[in-house]
Chains A and B, each alone.
Chain A
């Protein structure tokens, strides 16, 4: 009897320990999914029982219903389309200009000194605060929003591009020089590829900043756009519609960032693993 007890006690401890470890040893993806599900359930319970007043919070199911209703009625699409155009145009312009300016200041000390105070100053400034001014200048249409997006995205791109070129390993440059590389060849065959991961990181950072720009600028004054939908819904205490618009923005941000990570894995595989 005594022997059996002695033998079983550690065994029981072991199973308990193993079960505890099993939860923490789950694969990362499963933990993430579990975390999202827990969050949604908590949100649902909170809005059903604690903040039951739908003037202040909408439950996930209400948001889903609102999403379906908005898309079926067709009310969503002009808002979505307008914001998408504002974001994409502003983002594209900021990317092209940002990379160009970044390359220019990385290769020319004069232009670097010339631009640096503006870049440092404007990167740190919450330029969205200028949105009312831009609306005054450019009107209530898409171009005032595009300008805000450009201002929010471009400095992240410039700074990253410049840092990427500047951080090119001197060893690679010297190796290429030993083979008689010209300045142009050094730039095209070493600096540019070695800066690519940085440029992509800047562009990725720009996605979130650009989305903020679109929404905030639209809140200041617009006829269409997801920001407009949010403002309109807030004014009429329509929480499901408000959350529906936010959900679309979040989903766009997440999917664009994920697509970007895929692109990075293809374009700059050497920075991984």
Chain B
């Protein structure tokens, strides 16, 4: 049996009576970009947090390169929904924080991190402080910080959800460009179906109560994808297909929220 980059086996998680995740089994190969979409409360973020080691599962396992994961580790880089940049650190020092915790910042690390900052479009901003940056720039630092530890897998938790619509479109394109450079394995949680389809090789569609995978949708659109891709019939059909899968659940969760 070939080992996958990331494998989840019969993962279960309950919060009290609520089955947040039910029997989640997924295998993700090296260099795949996989998005998780679903209505709110479907457990997609919980799944990502279990993969990261920030939360633990009730049963089942997560393995990276065949090795079982227990707790956070530097083989996985987490990109947070809110940027979580430390306000007392410059852009460069924020980006270096993961390496610093591992206790190794050599000249080569510094050089690589600077290159990374220029890759995410922040060359010249190394000595700026978070309060001097826009939301989009802060998310670029957030991404660079996760890439700086050179993780095997990049875990992204709705990183663009706090950005305005135009900035988000730009950042999606930017993320695709950055990903093309290194082809890291990415697990990307979003509630935006078009964002998931635009970025991914595969979209895992989650359903709620219990949280489970409804369908594993292959996205075979050619790369690099552009803004025009979003107007193509094939793209629209995929978005439409996924929307139909979760429509009922989304309506239900919206009703629940407003009751």
Instruction: Verify if B86 is at the interface (C-beta below 8 Å from A).
Output: yes
Q: Which of A269, A270, A273 has the most CB of B within 10 A?
A: A270
A80 to B76, CA, bound (A): 62
Query: Which of A171, A185, A193 is close to B88, meaning CB atoms less than 8 Å apart?
Result: A193
Instruction: Verify if A205 is at the interface (C-beta below 8 Å from B).
Output: no
Are B87 and A178 in contact (CB-based, < 8 A)? no
Are B72 and A180 in contact (CB-based, < 8 A)? yes
Are A178 and B88 in contact (CB-based, < 8 A)? no
Instruction: Verify if A100 is at the interface (C-beta below 8 Å from B).
Output: no
Are B101 and A180 in contact (CB-based, < 8 A)? yes
Residues facing A in B49-87 (CB within 8 A) are: 52-54, 72-74, 76, 78, 80, 82, 84, 86-87
Query: Which of B54, B129, B131, B149 is close to A174, meaning CB atoms less than 8 Å apart?
Result: B54
Residue of B nearest to A181 (CB): B101
The main secondary structure of chain A at its interface with chain B is helix
Are A185 and B101 in contact (CB-based, < 8 A)? yes
A190 to B86, CA, bound (A): 8
Instruction: Verify if B255 is at the interface (C-beta below 8 Å from A).
Output: no
Are A179 and B86 in contact (CB-based, < 8 A)? no
A270 to B153, CA, bound (A): 32
Are A178 and B78 in contact (CB-based, < 8 A)? yes
Query: Within 8 Å CB of B76, what residues of A?
Result: 178
Are B131 and A273 in contact (CB-based, < 8 A)? yes
Query: Within 8 Å CB of A189, what residues of B?
Result: 86, 97, 100-101
Query: Within 8 Å CB of A172, what residues of B?
Result: 84, 86
Residues facing B in A171-229 (CB within 8 A) are: 171-172, 174-182, 185, 189-190, 193-194, 196
The main secondary structure of chain B at its interface with chain A is loop
A178 to B74, CA, bound (A): 8
A178 to B73, CA, bound (A): 7
Instruction: Verify if A268 is at the interface (C-beta below 8 Å from B).
Output: yes
Query: Within 8 Å CB of B54, what residues of A?
Result: 174, 177-178
Given A171-B82, A171-B84, A172-B86, does the pair A179, B129 have CB atoms closer than 8 Å? Answer: no
CB distance from A39 to the nearest CB of B (A): 37
How big is chain B's contact interface, by range?
20 to 34
Query: Within 8 Å CB of A273, what residues of B?
Result: 131
A96 to B87, CA, bound (A): 26
Are B131 and A180 in contact (CB-based, < 8 A)? no
Query: Within 8 Å CB of B97, what residues of A?
Result: 176, 179, 189
Query: Within 8 Å CB of A270, what residues of B?
Result: 87-88, 129-131
Number of A residues near B (Cβ < 8 Å) is 21
Query: Within 8 Å CB of A181, what residues of B?
Result: 101
Are B101 and A171 in contact (CB-based, < 8 A)? no
A171 to B178, CA, bound (A): 26
Contact with A along B93-130 (1 / 0, CB 8 A): 00001101110000000000000000000000000011
CB distance from B49 to the nearest CB of A (A): 9
Are A179 and B52 in contact (CB-based, < 8 A)? no
Are A193 and B101 in contact (CB-based, < 8 A)? no
CB distance from B21 to the nearest CB of A (A): 19
A189 to B129, CA, bound (A): 16
Residue of B nearest to A273 (CB): B131
Contact with B along A258-272 (1 / 0, CB 8 A): 000000000011100
Are A175 and B131 in contact (CB-based, < 8 A)? no
CB distance from A253 to the nearest CB of B (A): 29
A172 to B97, CA, bound (A): 12
Are A179 and B72 in contact (CB-based, < 8 A)? yes
A269 to B131, CA, bound (A): 10
Given A178-B54, A180-B72, does the pair A171, B86 have CB atoms closer than 8 Å? Answer: no
Are A178 and B72 in contact (CB-based, < 8 A)? yes
Contact with B along A134-175 (1 / 0, CB 8 A): 000000000000000000000000000000000000011011
A269 to B130, CA, bound (A): 11
Residues facing B in A227-273 (CB within 8 A) are: 268-270, 273
Are B52 and A178 in contact (CB-based, < 8 A)? yes
Are B72 and A177 in contact (CB-based, < 8 A)? yes
Contact with A along B125-153 (1 / 0, CB 8 A): 00001110000000000000000010000
A145 to B102, CA, bound (A): 49
Given A178-B54, A180-B102, does the pair A171, B80 have CB atoms closer than 8 Å? Answer: yes
Q: List 24 A-B contacts (CB under 8 A).
A: A171-B80, A171-B84, A175-B80, A176-B97, A176-B101, A177-B72, A178-B53, A178-B54, A178-B80, A179-B98, A179-B101, A180-B72, A180-B73, A180-B74, A180-B98, A180-B101, A181-B101, A185-B101, A189-B101, A193-B86, A196-B88, A268-B88, A270-B129, A270-B131
Additional A-B contact list (4), CB under 8 Å, known A181-B101, A182-B101: A175-B78, A179-B74, A189-B101, A196-B88
Residues of B in contact with A (beta carbons under 8 Å apart): 52-54, 72-74, 76, 78, 80, 82, 84, 86-88, 97-98, 100-102, 129-131, 149
